[in-house]
Amino acid sequence: MRRSLSLHARLFAAATAALLVFGGCGGGGGGASDNPENGDAAATGGAAGGTPDAASGGDTGGDPGGTTPPPDAAAPDAAPPDAALPDAAPPPDADGDGVPDAEDNCPQAPNPAQRDADADTLGDACDVGDTDGDGVPDRDDGCPGVPAQSNDDTDADGVPDACDVCPRDADPLQADADADGVGDACEIPGDGDADGVPDARDNCPAVTNGDQADRDQDGVGDVCDDCPENPDPSQTDTDGDGLGDGCDVCPEVALVAENHTDRDGDGQPVCAGDCDDTQSRRKDGGLEVCDGLDNDCDLEIDEGFDGLGDVCTAGEGVCRVDGQVSCRPDGTVGCDARPGAAGVEVCNQLDDDCDGVVDPPPCGDLAPLDWSVLGPILGLLLLSP
């Protein structure tokens, strides 16, 4: 009977040892012995130093709580480094034009093309200024950089033909990758300006001009001719102001503001020496007249008219009035005195009617008495009885 129990004890010890090795329940002290002589010890408590508890299946001597995992136990699962993160919220776009508010030059109004005609960083859609001076604020102007005469929009893309880089094909973004003024939607190989005329025979290959108009017949289309009124195949522009010498009244003076205009119509613009482009009577080399102005632009006024300011008179008799020599409306010199009104002539030793004659007949009919004749006659009359 004792021998049978010893055999069972050895089997139980072997089973326990197997569990400790393959089940991960090994303790910190010594394990069950394979020695048959130690079978009873294995059956009653396992390794030395542990609490005798065969049912626990392990040694608790090294881990009082019995919860410490073995060194090779797997760590809790972690998210792989390439795991997808939750989708980030899109940036705010208040006007829904596809441009985030932080980058939108006018976040209050849709303007996907981000146009800014005056380059003031405020998009045209929000700008109350009037860049082209046509009386329409930029925010309401379909072409804020072009004084458009019409708002025709052939392709109905919201951009009037006058400033559309591709007026025949809708393109609200106005894409123009090569910045040649022809929108990408209209680019045609071999026809840079997309006007339907091959560059090889286009009289203005960089600017759209399907009609090939050329008024001066110099081989350069009107739309790119710097002087379309006068033939100039070489397109000479000495002062580089964009106005060809053939049309430039001042070919050596660059066009600035209105210095090439002739508002007073005297044939001489400011750039040619006109000192006052508001009065046709004043220009460089003009005729000086007596009018209180510097007509010939030599910084002198009414030179050459002698006697100006001298005392003068006008009228005869009682009509005579004093004045000064001054300029007349016709540009000549004269006395500014105005004679008084003539009266009725009476015998008063004055020229009442201002005709230059004092007391004409009958005031002058009585000749002075001749006492050499009258005296003797009066003497005889006095002596007679």
pLDDT tens by residue, 235-253: 998 888 888 888 888 888 8
pLDDT for 59 equals: 43
Percent of the chain with pLDDT over 90: 18
pLDDT for 78 equals: 55
Measured CA distances, 256 to 169, 268, 278 (Å): 37, 16, 18
pLDDT for 187 equals: 77
Q: Taking the CA atoms of the chain, what radius of gyration do you get in angstroms?
A: 60
Residue 23, token pair as written in the block: 């089940």
Query: Could you say which DSSP state residue 15 is in?
Result: H
AA letter at 301: I
In this predicted structure, the answer to whether residue 40 has a pLDDT above a threshold of 50 is no
Q: Are 345 and 359 in contact (CB under 8 A)?
A: yes
Residue predicted with more confidence, 7 or 352 = 352
Q: Given pLDDT bands bounded at 50, 70 and 90, which one contains residue 85?
A: low
Residue predicted with more confidence, 216 or 366 = 216
The residue extents of the domains of the chain are 2-56, 256-303, 305-385
DSSP reduced 3-state for 181 = coil
Backbone angles phi, psi at 38, to 5 degrees: -105, 15
- Strand-pairing partners, residue 45, are none
Q: Given pLDDT bands bounded at 50, 70 and 90, which one contains residue 52?
A: very low
pLDDT for 322 equals: 92
Cα separation, 13 vs 9, in Å, equals: 6
Q: What is the pLDDT of residues 136-192, one digit of tens each?
A: 888 788 788 777 667 788 888 888 888 888 888 888 888 888 787 888 888 788 888
pLDDT for 37 equals: 43
Residue predicted with more confidence, 69 or 105 = 105
Q: Given pLDDT bands bounded at 50, 70 and 90, which one contains residue 319?
A: very high
pLDDT for 220 equals: 94
Q: In 3D, which of 7, 6, 47, 1 has the Cα closest to residue 27? A: 47
